[in-house]
């Protein structure tokens, strides 16, 4: 995780955006007078966080996710190739 001052972020915003396009997992903490005031994330990372929060907030979806993870831990999962074939998806 990178850290930069608010002034640096303002002056380098276009470069930071370009870096985030190349490295979408990059996170930049922005500080003002030594205190963290914002965090810059790529659009992909932000979308993933929002999707995760939506799943966690949906009790039924989260319960299904937990159940699926438990089944996988017990060895009851299917290989992706088998699941893809059962769903009729192309190889």
37-85 pLDDT per residue, tens: 999 999 999 999 999 999 889 999 889 989 999 999 999 988 889 989 9
The candidate with the shortest Cα–Cα distance to 42, out of 20, 75, 13, is 20
pLDDT at 31: 98
Calculate mean pLDDT across residues 9-25: 95
Q: Which domains, and CATH codes, for the chain? A: 2-42 (3.40.1620), 45-87 (no CATH)
In three-state secondary structure terms, 25 is coil
Q: Where are the alpha helices (DSSP H) in the chain?
A: 6-11, 13-22, 43-57, 59-73, 80-87
pLDDT at 14 over 90: yes
d(CA 45, CA 24): 7
pLDDT at 77: 86
């Amino acid at each position: 995780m990178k850290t930069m001052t608010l002034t640096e972020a303002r002056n380098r915003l276009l470069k930071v955006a370009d870096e985030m396009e190349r490295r979408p997992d990059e996170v930049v903490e922005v500080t003002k007078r030594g205190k963290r005031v914002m965090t810059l994330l790529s659009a992909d990372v932000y979308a993933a966080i929002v999707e995760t929060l939506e799943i966690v907030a949906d009790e039924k979806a989260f319960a299904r996710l937990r159940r699926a993870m438990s089944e996988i831990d017990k060895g009851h999962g299917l290989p992706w190739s088998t699941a893809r074939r059962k769903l009729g998806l192309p190889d």
